[in-house]
Structures are given as C-alpha cells and as structure tokens.
Amino acid sequence: MERSFELEDLLRRFYDAYTNVEIETLNSMISRDPDVLAIGTDPDEWWVGHDSITTIVASQAKETAGTRWEAGDPHGFAVGDIGWVSDRPRWVFADGRVIPFRLTAVCHLEGGAWRIVQSHFSIGVPNEDAVGRALTT
C-alpha cells in the first residue's frame, strides 16, 4: 500500500464542499454504485445507494449551514484502484461549540476520479459512558 495524498485531498475537498453547501460537488464525490454505503453518528443514519446518501447529505448540509468541518490530520492509502482515508476532524458551530468526530472512508477510482464507496462517521464516547466501566485504551 502507498500513501495517497489524492485521497487526503478528496477528504479536505469534501469538508469544504459540506461547509460551503456545494451540493453538486458533494454528489460528484460519492460513487454511483448501487451498494455505496454511508453510516452516520445517529443510530438511524445508515444509508445505501447514491441517491439516498446524496439526498441526506444535501439536507444535512443545508440544515447545518453556518457550521464548518475542519480537517484534523487525514491519512490516505491506496492499492491500485482501491483506497481508504481516515481523519479526526472537528465540527465547528457559529456559537463556538466544537464537536470532534472520527471519519473513515473507502474509495474507488472511477473514471479517473476517486469516489467514496463507504463512509463511517462517529463521535467518540468514553468507555465508561458506553459500557459502564473503564477499559484499556
């Protein structure tokens, strides 16, 4: 596997497009494969298919307009036409609230451009809160 600065850049561009509510740009970054998958932080956020995902992404980008996503330190890797990228970005709100989250995405090289085929967003919860006791970390 090789480090992929292209995938790291894709993630940064995704953050910028979400922040600036650039729906067409966001849509172009998501694969049109019928099995593309996005998993969000809410238990009900599990979407399959380009149209399903892009509809939700557009709605949420509009609903949260005025906020911004800031990259942490993205790391992307690729083997042939398959790649993956991970980051610990921050969601910054106009009132000063900051929500750190985690993101992983699997990407596929389609028509000369990297497209997201699977993504998973999560907000870290301490083990004490999730399972009721401290665990080794």
For position 54, what pLDDT does the model report? 95
Digit-coded pLDDT (tens) for 113-125: 999 999 999 999 9
Residue 38 neighbours by CB under 8 Å, 6+ apart: 30, 45, 46, 47, 53, 56, 57, 116, 118, 119, 120
Digit-coded pLDDT (tens) for 42-85: 999 999 999 999 999 999 999 999 999 999 999 999 999 999 99
Phi-psi region of 20 (alpha: psi -120 to 50; beta: other; left: phi over 0): alpha
Which residue segments constitute the domains of the chain, with CATH numbers given? 2-124 (3.10.450.50)
Is residue 41 within 8 A of residue 122, CB to CB? The reply is: yes
For position 51, what pLDDT does the model report? 95
Digit-coded pLDDT (tens) for 87-103: 999 999 999 999 999 99
DSSP result, the chain: -EE-HHHHHHHHHHHHHHHTT-HHHHHHHB---TT-EEE-SSTT-EEESHHHHHHHHHHHHHHTBTBEEE----EEEEETTEEEEEE--EEE-TTS-EEE-EEEEEEEEETTEEEEEEEEEE----HHHHHSS----
Query: Which position has the token pair 């993205």?
Result: 74
pLDDT band for 106, please (50, 70, 90 cuts).
very high
For position 85, what pLDDT does the model report? 98
For position 28, what pLDDT does the model report? 97
Q: CA 137 to CA 117: how far, in whole Å?
A: 29
Q: Which two three-digit tokens encode residue 116?
A: 């997201």
For position 117, what pLDDT does the model report? 98
